[in-house]
Amino acid sequence: MGSLGISGLAHLFGVLAFILLLVWLLHYREGIEYDSDNGFRVFNVHPLLMYSGFIFLAGEGMMAFQTIPSERRVRKFVHMALHLIAIILGVVGLCAVFKFHDMSHIPHLYTLHSWIGIATFCFFGLQWLFGFGVFMLQGASPATRAKVLPWHKVFGRALLFLAVCAAETGLMEKHSFLQLKPYQRESYLVNFTGLAILLFGAFVNFSIVIS
């Protein structure tokens, strides 16, 4: 299977995870609304936007730079634009979960999931600023850009892995809070969502490696 086939599988699992997440939040978890008086509807903005930005768009941006049949300048712009949108979505998603915690009088940043998530968000922002300054604005010499490019790619893949890890721990954390029985339909849905997210991250990585 070539890089296009692997990229196609990545797209498939990425869209599947998004659909499963929507079904879970809309059908089982009361819906999605940032300005709601219902704290759970506010919270649901968080997983939707964090997945959409830091996993799906980030992965699509990584593949776009490697696989779009266009000039390098165009691929670079698409790559940076998708990651910028991911950061914007991430800001709103983080605001939603902090708002929910305030509404529910829950302490902030006390779980492993939150630590991984905040670290991923901070490093993601730094990675984008570095890439924008060094590669988009060409703030470094061609020799320096050539030297740091492999490290930029490695850190990008590592951040995608961290984002997937944050999503998986977040799903399991929510699963435990809701005390779902293993045989319930909602429990299966959460598990399949986590599996689709994991496979999306894996196939994004495979696509980048072999392209």
Residue 158: strand, helix, or coil: helix
User: Which value, to the nearest 10 degrees, does the dihedral of the CA atoms of residues 131, 132, 137, 142 take?
Assistant: 0
Residue 112 covered by a domain? yes
Q: How far is CA 136 from its chain centroid?
A: 22
- With respect to residue 153, please indicate whether it lies within any of the assigned structural domains: yes
Cβ–Cβ < 8 Å for 117, 166: yes
Residue 208 in any domain: the answer is no
- Per-residue pLDDT, 57: 98
Nearest to 184, CA basis, from 17, 27, 12: 27
Q: What is the pLDDT of residue 141?
A: 92
CA atoms within 13 A on the CB side of 210: 12
Does 187 fall in a domain? Answer: no
For residue 79, what are the domain limits? 34-180
* CB neighbours of residue 210 within 10 Å: 12
Residue 6: inside a domain, yes or no?
A: no
Residue 50 to residue 117: CA distance in whole angstroms: 9
Residue 5: pLDDT band by 50, 70, 90 thresholds?
Answer: confident
pLDDT at 183: 76
* Confidence grade of residue 2 (pLDDT, cut at 50, 70, 90): low
Give the CATH number, domain containing residue 73: 1.20.120.1770
pTM as predicted? 0.95
In this predicted model, which residue has the larger pLDDT, 5 or 114?
Answer: 114
Instruction: Look at the chain and report how many structural domains it folds into.
Output: 1
